[in-house]
Structure 1
Amino acid sequence: MVWDLEVLEGSTRGLFQLTRLDIEKLKEFVVSKQKDRNENKKLHLSTFVVSIAYAWVCRVKAEEIENKNVMLAVNIDCRNRLDQPVPATYFGNCIGARVAIVETRVNAYMIVTTNYYRCQHVNVVSGVSVGVKSQASKV
């Protein structure tokens, strides 16, 4: 477990908790910044999206990374994102990777949240469906 890991000398370990109120404040922050930038596209901000964006920004700030591009790669379940959906009886995986790359700067949380959101909600290209069908036919 994570709390059983040794803490390296000179490092700090902490456990952080985001309450429902914290999550709502983060969502409201993104919406208000979006309005300030005159962006009309409504984002579906899940708890996961705002939490991962917040953790990412906190890590970048803690490591004092400035004026550089930072990247977050996340594996996602692509089964419901295929352009030809797999049957409900499909018992297997279809994992894809999405990468968000942003430059560290002021208002990073807003930028990270919207970029991560866009990464999470991109449909998988049709080539994946063709590859899945090809592999499935060989089984």
Structure 2
Amino acid sequence: MYRKWFLEKIGHEGLNNLLKAYEDKSAFAMCIFSLALGPEEEPITFVGKTAGKIVPARGPADFGWDPVFQPDGFEQTYAEMPKSEKNQISHRGRALALVKEHFASANYENQISHRGRALALVKEHFASANYEVQGDGLA
């Protein structure tokens, strides 16, 4: 979340001014979700990444760096895209898809512990919920 204070200080135009000296404007957006199954367990990490480039701001400036990030293979910035399209390709959407995939294939139901029962409930919830990425969180 370092991007928040950075963008508040320099703004979208300031970011583009910083990059004027560089030919390569490539960038990537990354989201990481981690699941800790217990205090002694290694966390399971789910990484979503979207490659793109930094461009002059286009679209509504109502969310972070969306107006200046244009994903590779697209003509629109995140800010210009319909939310449904952005959710399909965004770093958060990709990381969340990996979490959902994990719970769809994991076999927590057979664990007798409280943790196993709790994880089975989470798996059931993810299977029945239709999440959309909105802002900094999920809805």
TM-score normalised by structure 1 residue count? 0.31
More strand by share: 2
TM-score normalised by structure 2 residue count? 0.31
